[in-house]
């Protein structure tokens, strides 16, 4: 199967006018993307900007013939409880394949896990004002691409969307104009979701595996439900490891800790940068004594530091935390030794004003990840069960819902009527 041969990022040189590309867009106002066919409903006066999806309904957002590249995906759904936000699935099928190469909760696709969209700006995605979902991952396709959204919740869902893409109508002409241009071999975007609730001690959570190379690991969006254990002061000592082309037991790339992989240090809190960050952290305001949050999240894009594999890649993260024992807390140390195997160099004694024994120890938490990768050939990813995404993510009693939650359902229904 031939790989697409188009320029993926024409915006990298905005002065370039490439007549080999034809600009198109699909939405409910022009579901086929045909030229001269947009906005035909109700006289072209905003006649079909949105529609409601019934519970369990699957809708085709785009069904396009190539060659081409999706450049931008925008959509919005009304604010809702986390389990409802997480019950909306995005799937993408390439070149007529029956199985999806992207199958992921829709909010995770745009950069935020656990059904809690927040304002977000990254190099590849944005959630503007916490409700306008934008993705800028190039999605090339050779013969055909089909994009579908599935409402797996028990409620109706109001959806607005627009997918912007280009068709390549002159690759041969471009090659003749610039015969010295290097040969490009773009590939197909894959996104796979997995969750382990809870993880098994000393069995590292797998962020990514199972796709054939050649490929490039673009990055991941990870959510963590921290299982509170008063023996621990911190949950994130685990290292991220990347195993190339069947490496075992040791990887080539080995990190130094969770927050280090995210680009920060000495624990982490909510922050955003183009390549890595923490969209949100959920803490109980009534428990300032707790050092660990109830929920946290991170994204990490490998743009400037590409992760390329020839045959296969496996990306894992350890579940290891930090423990401290003050003088006189012999019972606490005994409980740690009995229930949480100490990792690393074992127990150590800190010096200075804060005198304590400390160690890193194995633990369990609830991890999920949406992993993004480009592969030369389209492949099937695992389809997760709906409850795998929605279990155990309901709001904590202290969390406040969005002030617009529910109100936008009413507005949407009024518009539709």
Q: What is the pLDDT of residue 4?
A: 43
What pLDDT does residue 8 have?
46
CB-side neighbour CA atoms (13 Å) of 371: 27
| Residue 246, burial from CB neighbour count under 10 angstroms (0-12, 13-18, 19+) | exposed
* Structural contact between residues 69 and 8, judged by C-beta atoms closer than 8 angstroms: yes
Looking up tokens 């990190």 gives 255
Cα 224 to Cα 369: distance, rounded to the nearest angstrom: 9
Domain extent listing, the chain: 21-31+48-174+379-416, 191-369
Q: What pLDDT does 179 receive?
A: 52
Check the CA dihedral 130-109-240-348 and report its sign.
positive
H or E stretch at 171: helix 171-177
Please, what CATH class does the domain formed by 21-31+48-174+379-416 belong to? mainly beta
- Cβ proximity of 261 and 255 under 8 Å: yes
Rg, Å, the chain Cα set: 23
Could you say which of 2.60.120, 1.10.3470, 3.40.390, 2.60.40 is the CATH number of the domain covering 191-369? 2.60.120
Neighbouring-strand partners of residue 380: none
Q: What is the mean pLDDT of each run of 10 residues along the chain (417 residues)?
A: 45 81 95 87 82 97 97 97 98 97 99 98 98 98 97 97 93 48 74 98 98 98 97 97 98 98 97 98 94 97 98 98 94 96 93 86 98 98 98 96 72 51
- Amino acid 414: pLDDT: 52
- CB-based burial of residue 384 (10 Å sphere; 0-12 exposed, 13-18 middle, 19+ buried)? middle
Rounded Cα–Cα distance for residues 64 and 163 (Å) = 11
Strand 102-105 to strand 188-196: parallel, antiparallel, or no bridges (unpaired)? parallel
Buried b / exposed e over 57-67, threshold 16 CB at 10 Å, is eebebbebebb
pTM: 0.92
């Amino acid at each position: 199967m031939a790989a697409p041969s188009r320029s993926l990022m024409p915006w990298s040189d905005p002065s370039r006018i490439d007549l080999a590309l034809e600009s198109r867009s699909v939405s409910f106002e022009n579901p086929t993307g045909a030229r001269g066919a947009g906005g035909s409903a109700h006289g072209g006066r905003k006649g079909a900007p949105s529609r409601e999806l019934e519970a369990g309904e699957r809708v085709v957002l785009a069904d396009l013939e190539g060659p081409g590249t999706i450049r931008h995906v925008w959509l919005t759904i009304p604010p809702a409880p986390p389990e409802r936000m997480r019950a909306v699935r995005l799937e993408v099928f390439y070149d007529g394949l029956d199985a999806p190469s992207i199958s992921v909760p829709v909010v995770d696709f745009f950069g935020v896990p656990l059904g809690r969209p927040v304002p977000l700006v990254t190099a590849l995605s944005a959630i503007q004002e916490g409700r306008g979902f934008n993705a800028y991952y190039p999605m090339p396709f050779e013969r055909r691409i089909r994009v579908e959204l599935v409402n797996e919740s028990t409620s109706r869902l109001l959806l607005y969307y627009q997918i912007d893409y280009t068709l390549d109508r002159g690759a041969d002409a471009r090659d003749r104009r610039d015969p010295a241009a290097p040969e490009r071999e773009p590939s197909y975007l894959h996104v796979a979701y997995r969750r382990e609730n809870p993880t098994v001690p000393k069995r590292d959570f797998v962020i990514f595996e199972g796709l054939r190379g050649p490929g490039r690991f673009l990055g991941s969006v990870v959510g963590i439900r921290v299982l509170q254990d008063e023996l621990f002061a911190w949950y994130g000592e685990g290292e991220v490891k990347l195993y190339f082309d069947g490496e075992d037991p040791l990887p080539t790339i080995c990190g130094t800790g969770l927050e280090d992989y995210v680009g920060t240090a000495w624990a982490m809190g909510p922050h955003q940068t183009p390549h890595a960050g923490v969209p949100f952290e959920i803490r109980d305001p009534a428990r300032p004594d707790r050092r660990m949050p109830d929920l946290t999240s991170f994204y990490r894009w490998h743009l400037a530091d590409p992760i390329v594999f020839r045959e296969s890649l496996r990306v894992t993260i350890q579940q290891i935390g930090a423990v401290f024992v003050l003088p006189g807390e012999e019972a606490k140390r005994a409980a740690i030794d009995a229930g949480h195997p100490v990792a690393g160099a074992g127990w150590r004694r800190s010096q200075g004003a804060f005198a304590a024994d400390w160690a890193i120890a194995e633990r369990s938490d609830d991890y999920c990840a949406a992993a993004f990768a480009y592969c030369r050939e389209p492949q099937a990813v695992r389809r997760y069960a709906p409850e795998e995404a929605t279990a155990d993510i309901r709001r904590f009693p202290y969390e406040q819902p969005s002030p617009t939650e529910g109100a936008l359902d009413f507005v949407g229904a009024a518009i539709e009527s």
